[in-house]
Structures are given as structure tokens and as C-alpha cells.
Amino acid sequence: MSGGGQGRYRAGAWYVIFTPDAVVMVDDGMPARDVQRLWEVVHGGADLEAILAELDRPAARRVFGVAVTGPDGLQTRVRPGVALLVDRGDGGPPLVDTGDGHPDGALPAHAAPGAPGNPGAPDGAAVAPPHLVRLIRVGATDHGADVTLPVVCGVVRADDVEWTPARGTRRVRGRRAVERAGGRPGTRPSDRPVETRPVSVTPGLGRAGRPDDAGAYRDEPGPAPDDAEPGARGRARTPSAWGDRLDETFLPQWTSERWRQHGRGGSRPDDPADPAAGEPDDVGDAAAATGNDVDGGGGGPDVEGATGVYSQATPPTWRALAARAPRPASNPATPSPGTPASPSTPTLQVPADETRAPLDAEPPPSDEPADRDGPAARATPADRDGPADLDPPAERGGGAPTVHAVLCSAQHPNPVQATYCRSCGEALGFASVQLVSRPPLGVLRFSTGQEVVLDQNVLVGRAPRADRVPGRQLPRPVRIEGQGLDISRNHLEVRLEGWHVLVVDLGSRNGTLVTLPGRAPQLIDARVPCLIAVGTVVELTEDVTFSLESLP
Amino acid sequence: MIVVTWGAVSDTGRVRARNEDAVLAQDPVFVVADGMGGYRGGATASRIAVETFREILDLPRVRAADIPPQLRAAHDAIRRQAGIEPASASMGTTAVGLTLVHEDGAAYWLAFNVGDSRLYRLHEGVLSQISVDHSYVQELVHAGFLAPDEARLHPERSVITRALGVADGSDADFWVFPAEAGERFLLCSDGLSGELDDVDIAAALTAGEGPQETAARLVTAANEAGGRDNISVIVVDVAGTPDAELDAPTADRPRSAPGSGAGSTPDPTSGSSPDPVPEIT
């Protein structure tokens, strides 16, 4: 096994498996034990079909993107929810596959290079093995992980990765004996035979990496020390070269300044195969990576869209779901400043992340797993008769209002932005949007012992009353008894708007204190709705509080 | 603890041949429906509405959220019947209702209204009309074209803008508020409120009689005033332990200064101040 495939990743939530000749991105709803198994399959040299079989083995339908090199060149498969881009290194536009253009999600360009009618190969010529594959979780937000890190082989948590297939590798069961890239007219020398010889990809990484980690995945005939000659290093696509290609020839319109900053700052060597040009770059990259980490490590979460990666020219299929609530931006792969050794550490195991279960444990329960078909099933459009009427049923005063939702295969409704089911954790992809009766959005747990399931608006106070409201706004009154006269008769309302939970102080005499998770308590303005999330604590008085919790 | 007593009377009046009103008065559901449209259709519509609400009586425990679907069901049932009887295709009915509901052990009144039947509340000697008519004249009053006391005599006073069973405009208004000892409610069709003004109604309600006697007195008064329409009346009395906490004004509370200002801060545990100030609505 020779060296070759390597990549970079931006820390995120989904699982990405790297091997020298395959990269697999799969949604984070996949149980950890299945990720482990998938890793073993991919790492064991499985071909595309075997990997797909493994991805579809669990009951839940996963969102994934796969790129595998094999005897037929690069093969890819994408399900909606992942975008795959391939830069063939010929200066042409990258091939883009978001999984929604093909019934089975296959991108034919590489499976059958030069096939007639293949839009990705306009000249019909044999397509050289691609230079660069990028897998992006569609809708991923920038969690502040503005540092990209190198990886050769292993499993990382990432929403955005780049990978270059191995060259000259002997893939599955020795079937691949021919370097397919050779002889293509116009192909740069660097793309050809020099890469058939074993090269090491580790020296540039291992210099800064921890030897233990670097050796952890050398269960295959890994690069021998004598592979680590300067020339080989130069030919191997190093992290710095990655940054270069990305910036200058690959999707510049989707690359922000921020990303660019983290590429190597120097000029790109015209020929990456030139050892003289390559080696200094490696050094420079190591330094740049360290510097970048100082830059990014202290920055903390940054969800500002202005510096997002895909800043402009976003294709319409690219759903920038900035509205999605950012996850806890614990960034396991971003080393803290002052640990320069970490950036280059290849990762085999999923990085420790205190907000998530370790690999050998079940995935964390989804936010609100429960069967919530009950109370919401009351009024459906089918129940209605009479003249056509655009009002949803609730407008007429009965049942839960309708919301737009995407359904998992078990028909659990989810917010349109969701990437995995809030009830069962299944990955959602791009299911069609439907109107459904809104499920309960959580439960209010009061310090007084009351528990209120959020299937309608809730009116909280010492003597709550609602006057002349339409049925869809009819609140459930929650009377706070015997807790003092400093609670107003109508103190606050918990209002449900679509999938959102809002708290509205109704002009109470003594105000309402809202503590969002991880935030300082805040006295909210009267009559100004305040969006709250699970974990929020709302205080009417010091003694009377309630919290919004997910349904058990 | 809330104890409810009631009395109900439904009368054809002195002019109409039939009584197209329907009444349901049984704890915890009180409904007055005033049907209209088509040959016997009005009576059919109001009866369907009342019978639909009778299903509430089967529930072991009524919640506020149970009521809007029931109104919806009544509307649908009337529509279905209208499809069966072409002569009654245009039938519909008003519905005003009061339901005692329980949420987390606390008792509330859930009130609803479609059309121009009415709900009044008498508390501590003050009569207030809770429901707001869905009627042409009410809209004129609301827009400022008509004085409230002119509305009762307006020639188009019986034109309503919403009703159960009509194709467009069956949405109900809802109210929810804590049940309170000492309340007296009046539900009535426009056969009463069209004949008697609020002063007459208040006088009858405060005459010191029980709910059944009061209902009969109101119907008699309406008949004496003309009895031009069917007259239906339900009077509901709420007895029990007064709960001053419901009506007391909210006290100021110093934020972030616990234990200080004891002289000016009312004791938050003294929920029953001796002289509660009536709520201003």
C-alpha cells in the first residue's frame, strides 16, 4: 500500500472517514457502533458497493457522500444533504453533485469517464483521476471552526472536508495495477508516474504530530521511514498544496477570505511535484497551521455569515440554513493555542467531545424523542368539508395548527431545517415539505410542580384570562396560586409560532426574567416576544420559575 | 371549591309559531343556540349544535382545548345535515356557551360565541357583557356609525355575520378566565336582549332570586316587552369560597433586593387581603 489519499477537514458534527482511497461522510445520526463498523469496512478496502451496502444496513436511511477510488477510477455517490465537488485538475469547472439530480444519487462523471452525454466530461476524453474531492454537509453552519486540519486516515467529526484520492495505490484485492492517469494529454507531469511510486504523506504531518497517533493507523503496510524522502514529500499533496489549490483553482467563489487565510500564505509552486518547491511549502504550512490555530483557537464560536465559507455564488440547491440553531460549538479538533503539536495530528478516533457520546456508546438521544402523534392528530385537512378554504383547520377553532414539516420514514414531523429526526434521530436529507398538525413542542416544568405540554399557547399568571381570542390562539391557562401578589394576573404568555416557542411578558408589574441556556439572565421587554430554546429558565419571581424542556 | 347552580327557560315568545332556539344546561356545559334558515331548518341547526355539545358531558374531565373542536364538529354536523335536506340548505345557528373546565386542578370558565346570542357576567353588582355580537349592527357600532343604545332598535338588528353551519364565517370567539365564587352568568338569545336593555336585565339578575326563578322572570319580562322572537335564558350561579387572590391588584416587588424594604413591600404570602379591590376590566 502506498501513500496517497489525504485531506483536510473543518471540525463539525458529522462523521467523515478518511482512508487513502476512500472518503465517506455520513450524518451524525448514525449510531456510533455503526460508524465503527463502517470504518472497518471502508478501511478494509471495500469497494463502493460494499460501502453503500454498509451505509444502508442500519434501519434508518442515512445521508451520506462517498468517494472511492477503484479500478474504474473515482466513483462517487451522494444522497441529498451532502454536496460533492470534484475538481479534475484540468482547469475546468468542478463537477458538483448534490444528490438530487440523479435518481440514485450517482454522479456518473467518474464512474464512467468520458461517457457520452456526461456533462462532466465535455470533451469526451478520458478523465484523469480527480485531483480534489470536497464533501460538504449542506446547510452546515460555521461553528467557528475556521481552522482546517490535516487528516490521512481515520474518522473525524467534520461538516466540510477535502480529500485527494491516492495515486498509484493498489486498491481492493490487487485489482488495480494500472495507473489510469497516465498518458492523458495535457495532464501535468505531476499527475503522472511519479505518483505511482510509494510516497509518504506523513512526514509533513508527523513532524508536528504525536508519534503515537501517527502510528496508530499503521496497521496496513504504511509508509516506511525511508519513504519520507524530500522528493516524495513534495509529490504527495501536502496540506499546504491543498490550501493552494482550493484557493486558486478550485471553487474560488465558494471560498471566503477566512478560509483562504488558512491556506499557506506563500505562492503556490507551479509544479507540486517539484521537490524544491514542495519541501519548503511543507515547512511553511506547519508554521502557518500553528499560527492559524492561535488565530482561530481563541476565537470561539463564530456563526456570522459574513465570513462563512460559501460566501457568494451559492447555487440554489445549496441551502444555506443559517437559521438552524448552532450546536454547542465545542470544537474538539481545534487545538487550543499553545499546543502546536496538535494541528497536524492525524485522527483515528472521533475526537473527544463532551457534548457527544463516545464512539462505543449509543448516540445521544435526539432532542425530543417521543411519539407525538396523539394530541396533534385532531384536525387534518381531510376532516374538512364545505367550500374550499385556505385557512388551516385551526383557523376554524379546532385542533393543533398546521406547520410545514419534513417527515422521516416513521412519519415523525420535523422542522423544515432539521437534518435528523427530532423523534427517532433518523437522517432526513431533502424530504419534501408537508403541512402537518403541529406536534407538541416541549413541556413547561414549573417550580410549583405543574407540568404543561406545549401543544397550545400557555397563559401564566395569578388569575390568567384571555378575552375574545380565536380558537387557534386559545391559551391554556396556568394559574399560579398562593405564590404572592407580585405575580400579575396575566403575567406572561408562552406562545407557539410555527416550530418556535416564544415568551411574551404581558406588561407584568414586576417583569419576567429569562435565562437562555448558557446566557445571563435577562429582564425581557414587555410585549416583545422572546424566542426561547430547550433549557431556558423563565422566572416570574425568585420562587416561581419554569423551564422549557424537551418531551420525555 | 366551586359549586355551580343554574336555571334555564326557553320560550317561543308571542309572535313566532315555533321555537327555533335550543338550550343545553347541565353542569359543566351551558349553551344557548338560536337557529335560523329554511323550513324548520333553524330548529334543526340549533338542536344539532346543542346535541353536539351534549357529548362534552361524557368527558370525565373537560379541558379548554376540548371546546373548539366541538364547535367545529357542530358546524360540520349542521353542514352535513344541510346537504341531506335541500330545503334547509341555508340553515345555521348562533351558539353562545359557557363551560367549566379544569386545568391543573384550577377551575376556569371557557366561554365561546358565534353570532348574536349573548353572555353576561354579574359580579359584585356590576353587569358586563362578555360576548361581542357577530352582527351587522355590532359592526356599525364598532365602526362608530351607530350608538350602542341604537343598535337594539336598528331594523337590521337581526342580521348576523357569523353562525355555525354557514359556509363562511363560523369562527367562534373564545374567552377563558378563572371561575370565581359570587359570579352569576346569563346566557340568552336575542329574543331576550332584543326586548330588554342592560338596565332591565341587571335589575332582574339582582332581584335576589335563584337562577331558575331569575330565568323565568327574564323570559316573562321579555314577553311583556313584546316577545317578538324566541326567548331562551340560562342563569348560572357560582358559589364557593371567595378567592381574593384572583382580584387583588398586583403588588410591587423590589428586584434584587430580597429582605429589604419590608415596610413598603406587601407580604407576598398574605394572599387574602381583607378588602380586595375589584378588577377593572
The C-alpha cell at A202 is 506523513
Q: Which of residues 71-100 of B touch A (CB under 8 A)?
A: 71-73, 75-76, 79-80
What is the rounded radius of gyration, in angstroms, for the C-alpha atoms of chain B? 21
Give A-chain residues touching B70 at CB under 8 angstroms: 398
Q: DSSP string spanning B40-103? A: THHHHHHHHHHHHHHGGGG-SS--GGGHHHHHHHHHHHHHHHHHH-GGGTT-EE-EEEEEEEEE
The answer to whether A363 and A546 have CB atoms below 8 angstroms apart is no
CB contact under 8 A, A470 and B174: yes
Q: What is the rounded CA–CA span in Å between residue A505 and residue A503?
A: 7
DSSP state at residue A528: -
pLDDT (0 to 100) of residue B239: 95
CB contact under 8 A, B269 and A464: no
B172 in contact with chain A, both atoms CB, cutoff 8 A? yes
Instruction: Tell me the count of A-B CB pairs closer than 8 A.
Output: 150
Count CB-CB contacts under 10 A for residue A267. 10
Number of helical (H) and strand (E) elements in chain A, helices listed first: 9, 24
pLDDT (0 to 100) of residue A136: 87
**Dihedral angle of Cα B20, B24, B29, B31, to the nearest 10 degrees:** 20
Chain A interface disruption, residue of B91, B123, B130, B176, most A CBs within 10 A: B176
pLDDT (0 to 100) of residue A33: 84
**Chain A nearest CA to B102, separation (Å):** 9
Chain A interface disruption, residue of B52, B253, B267, B281, most A CBs within 10 A: B253
Q: Which of residues 179-238 of B touch A (CB under 8 A)?
A: none
Amino acid symbol at A432:
S
B2-262 to CATH, choices 3.60.40.10, 1.10.510.10, 3.40.50.720, 3.40.630.30: 3.60.40.10
Query: Which residues of chain A are under the pLDDT cut of 50?
Result: 1-3, 103-127, 169-398
Tell me which chain B residue has its CA closest to the CA of residue A446: B104
**Chain B nearest CA to A291, separation (Å):** 46
CB contact under 8 A, A486 and B173: no
β-sheet bridge partners, residue B118? B188
The C-alpha cell at A67 is 468517494
Give B-chain residues touching A484 at CB under 8 angstroms: 251, 253, 268-269, 271
Instruction: Cite the beta strand spans of A375-465 per DSSP E.
Output: 402-407, 413-414, 433-437, 443-446, 451-453, 458-461
Give B-chain residues touching A462 at CB under 8 angstroms: 245-246, 248, 250
Give A-chain residues touching B75 at CB under 8 angstroms: 396
Triad A171, A176, A180: Cα angle to 5°: 115
| All residues at 6 or more sequence positions from B141 whose CB lies less than 8 Å from its CB, including other chains | B147, B148, B151
pLDDT (0 to 100) of residue A10: 85
Q: A222, A228, A223, A266: which is closest to A244 by C-alpha? A: A266
CB contact under 8 A, B174 and A378: no
CB contact under 8 A, A483 and B253: no
Buried b or exposed e, range A395-418, using 16+ CB within 10 angstroms = bbbbbbbbbebbbbeeebbbbbeb
CB contact under 8 A, B176 and A464: yes
Domains of chain B, residue spans:
2-262
Q: What is the rounded CA–CA span in Å between residue A35 and residue A29?
A: 10
The C-alpha cell at A341 is 503539536
Distances (CA, A) of B103 to A204, A451, B165: 67, 11, 30
**Chain B nearest CA to A391, separation (Å):** 11
Q: DSSP string spanning A39-92? A: HHHHHTT--HHHHHHHHTSSSSPPPEEEEEEETTEEEEEE-TTEEEEEE-SSSS
CB contact under 8 A, A463 and B177: yes
pLDDT (0 to 100) of residue B168: 83
B245 in contact with chain A, both atoms CB, cutoff 8 A? yes
**Chain B nearest CA to A503, separation (Å):** 19
pLDDT (0 to 100) of residue A96: 80
Give B-chain residues touching A487 at CB under 8 angstroms: 250
**Dihedral angle of Cα B146, B150, B152, B158, to the nearest 10 degrees:** -40
Secondary structure class of A117 (helix, strand, coil): coil
CB contact under 8 A, B250 and A477: no
pLDDT (0 to 100) of residue A306: 28
pLDDT tens for chain B, residues 1 to 281: 789 999 999 999 999 999 999 999 999 999 999 999 867 889 999 999 999 999 999 999 999 999 999 999 999 999 999 989 888 888 999 999 999 999 888 999 999 999 999 999 999 999 999 999 999 999 999 998 999 888 888 888 889 999 999 988 899 999 999 999 999 999 999 999 999 999 999 999 999 999 999 999 999 999 999 999 999 999 999 999 888 889 888 988 765 544 433 334 444 444 444 444 444 44
Of A378, A450, A485, which is closest to B69 when you measure between CB atoms? A378
pLDDT in tens, A305-350: 222 222 233 332 222 222 223 333 333 333 333 333 333 333 233 3
Give A-chain residues touching B49 at CB under 8 angstroms: none
Q: What are phi and psi of A108, to 5 degrees?
A: -80, -10
The answer to whether A100 and A430 have CB atoms below 8 angstroms apart is yes
pLDDT (0 to 100) of residue A513: 95
CB contact under 8 A, A397 and B104: no
Task: Give B265's Cβ-side CA count (13 Å radius).
Answer: 15
